[in-house]
Amino acid sequence: MTLRYLTAGESHGPGLLAIVEGIPAGLSIDSEFINSELKRRQAGYGRGARQRIETDKAEFISGVRRGVSMGGPIAMRIPNEDNRLDDAAKTPSVSRPRPGHADLAGSVKWLTTDCRETLERASARETAARVAAGALANCFLREFGIQTCGFVRAALDVRWTGEVTAHSWPAQLAARNASDVGIPCDATSAQLVDRIHQAKVDKDTVGGLVEAHVFNCPIGLGSCVQWHERLDSRLAGAVMGIQAFKAVEIGLGRECAFRTGSQVHDAIQYDASKKNESHLGFVRPTNNAGGLEGGMTNGMPVVITGTMKPISTLLRGMPSVDLNTKESVMSAYERSDVSAIAAASVVMEHVVAFEIARAFLEKFSGDSMTQVKASHASFMELARRLPLA
């Protein structure tokens, strides 16, 4: 069965749901970890007052018994404290679409002039459900030593230039967790806090660049056989599916256009002393490919960068048109965030984890964790023995 998930829920409805199908039986589910990731998604300098109202926690409704998956769909519910969708006074109609938001396109699509019909579902509040699904996938990946990490790389004129590796990450993780903006560096974090503060003063908003790295993927997840099986295609789709994301890059990304082949491709070397690592000893002095060649993992860390545009709800407003009168007006303002870039890095880390887990389960499928582990172990054993007699 393919690993997949659906979400449901509106920003100010009773709650959000994530239904995850395809998790094998026998996986220990670390609900504390899932809830800590939900909490991390709520944090960050520049978030609005909503996050002080909510305490996101996943309630398990199905598929889990005594903390262990049973093989059926796992449904998780995250209640909304700010539940007022049926109260017309508290969630009034909105007819002044915000440039950059789903308001205009959605209203015309559903043949209404009330943008609320669209904005409630388009809202990035939904990403809480995606983090729950992805954190569940991360519980699975951890069983195979696969580790994901997410952080903020840059925004406006602020950029952290540090390098992230599996060895450097534990120390950087502590720095990222201490940062108000998800950057693993105190000094750069302070600069970005300053810029976000200035945007707030200016009644403006800020986006940024976020990165996800995945360590210890076995070689061969994904496939070169069909376009939709290419793992880079799936990862890009998942990242572009996050609210407000406008670009995604793998490894060197756009920079590949400005270099020749010899300056882009990662040389292949062999080091027998490292044959027990995910790359089986096929070491690469560089990782410009971002861990993916031919749509398959190559044993190097998977490295993905996503670009989030600035939040489209501006306190100062943007020129717009009233959908009822067609008059020029300033766009509507609803309580919102000045920046949600730290949250975006949490969301991206988990949507990436989900796609990696999906590709892993396609290669090493099984109804139970015991079967999946046996399949993975036998493949690794064969791969290490190459060339097979």
- Residue of 21, 30, 82, 362 that binds ligand EPS (CB under 6 A): 82
Q: 387: cis peptide before it, omega within 30°?
A: yes
Q: Following DSSP, what letter does each residue of 35-83 receive, concatenated?
A: HHHHHHHH-STT--THHHH----PEEEESEETTEE-SS-EEEEEE-SS-
Contact positions with ligand EPS (CB under 6 A) in 110-139 = 119, 123-125, 127-128
336 binds ligand EPS (CB under 6 A): yes
Q: What sign does the CA torsion over 102, 105, 108, 109 have?
A: negative
243 binds ligand EPS (CB under 6 A): yes
**Are the CB atoms for 65 and 26 separated by under 8 Å?**
no
Element at 249 (helix H, strand E): strand 245-250
Beta bridge partners of residue 250, listed in sequence order: 304
189 binds ligand EPS (CB under 6 A): no
Give the nearer residue to ligand EPS in terms of CB position, either 30 or 54: 54
Q: What sign does the CA torsion over 103, 108, 109, 111 have?
A: positive
Element at 18 (helix H, strand E): strand 15-21
C-alpha–C-alpha distance, residues 35 and 301, integer Å: 26
In the bound complex, what is the minimum distance in angstroms from residue 85's beta carbon to ligand EPS? Answer: 11
98 binds ligand EPS (CB under 6 A): no
Give the nearer residue to ligand EPS in terms of CB position, either 40 or 195: 40
52 binds ligand EPS (CB under 6 A): no
335 binds ligand EPS (CB under 6 A): yes
- Residue of 50, 77, 176, 358 that binds ligand EPS (CB under 6 A): 50
Give the nearer residue to ligand EPS in terms of CB position, either 316 or 335: 335
Question: Which two tokens mark 170?
Answer: 């534990």
In the bound complex, what is the minimum distance in angstroms from residue 291's beta carbon to ligand EPS? Answer: 29
In the bound complex, what is the minimum distance in angstroms from residue 59's beta carbon to ligand EPS? Answer: 17
**Pattern 345-384, ligand EPS, x by CB under 6 A:** ----------------------------------------
320 binds ligand EPS (CB under 6 A): no
Q: What sign does the CA torsion over 274, 279, 281, 283 have?
A: negative
313 binds ligand EPS (CB under 6 A): yes
Would you tell me how many other CB atoms lie within 10 Å of the CB of residue 295?
21
3-state class (DSSP) for residue 339:
strand
15 binds ligand EPS (CB under 6 A): no
- Residue of 7, 9, 10, 11 that binds ligand EPS (CB under 6 A): 11
List residues binding ligand EPS (CB under 6 A): 11, 48, 50, 82, 119, 123-125, 127-128, 243, 313, 335-337, 343
